[in-house]
Amino acid sequence: MVAFHILTLFPEMVMQGLSASILGRAAKSGCISIETVNIRDYTLDKHGKVDDYTYGGGAGMLMQAQPVYDAYQSVAGRIGQERAHRVVYLTPQGKTFCQEMAQEMAQESDLIFLCGHYEGIDERVLEEIVTDEVSIGDYVLTGGELPAMVMIDAIARLVPGVLHNGESAQTESFGDGLLEYPQYSRPEVWHEKRVPEILLSGDHAKVDAWRLEQSLQRTKERRPDLYAKYQEAHAVEKK
């Protein structure tokens, strides 16, 4: 089981997004757990303020170190300070999230996600608690909640028991470094387009070969960067 802990100013937004569909069922069954911690609950300001002006001037406000740190400590104390745990700060300055990173994080027992807002978070608390700075792409969002939800979805589906069909996570895009092959369902003919005959043959070896060929072709056309990495990796294996 993986426990996800999200430090956020908008817990309702996060829980609404993560409590439905597959992740909601996985949480109910105990394969994963999801909790939100409202950073605002830990401010010492009587008005619930968690941000202030930045030193040196500049546009926008910055989240203060104290409420972020105390919110983190509330989780770390329950997890156990003696246990190593990862704190992921969602920032466009971080390392780009990928399937390999999702697979790695799915092995953790606890993951803490820190969602920033405004102009970000005081650098001092980031230096104190953050182990991973991660971005989901080269663009800027209003906060870290959506990136956290994206990462949690990608990670959680790799946890045993979350997907009913365990093979599904292995055969989809990026599972073997390639994009997934095209797939078809009933009826056999739709809008005068037929399902490829090979998929109706019942010959599993030929189907597997066709799917690999399609994955290679699709990856070469749509993601030549991934195709080059795949070719390089297999060239090394053959030596």
Q: How many CA atoms lie within 13 A of 192 on its CB side?
A: 0
| Average pLDDT of adjacent 10-residue blocks, the chain of 239 residues | 97 96 96 98 95 90 97 94 82 96 96 95 97 96 97 97 70 76 95 97 97 96 95 78
| Residue 227 contacts residue 219 (beta carbons within 8 Å) | yes
| Residue 150 contacts residue 164 (beta carbons within 8 Å) | no
- Looking at domain 172-238, what is its CATH homologous superfamily? tRNA(m1g37)methyltransferase, domain 2 (1.10.1270.20)
CA 64, 88, 135: angle at the middle one, nearest 5?
A: 95
pTM (predicted TM-score): 0.87
pLDDT at 239: 57
| Residue 214 contacts residue 182 (beta carbons within 8 Å) | yes
pLDDT at 30: 96
- DSSP state at residue 201: S
- Looking at domain 2-156, what is its CATH homologous superfamily? SPOUT methyltransferase, trefoil knot domain (3.40.1280.10)
Q: How many CA atoms lie within 13 A of 73 on its CB side?
A: 11
Residue 132 bridge partners (DSSP): 88
| Residue 19 contacts residue 34 (beta carbons within 8 Å) | yes
pLDDT at 83: 63
Helices (H), the chain: 11-18, 21-29, 65-79, 99-105, 123-129, 145-156, 168-171, 204-222, 224-238
- Domain coordinates in residue numbering, the chain: 2-156, 172-238
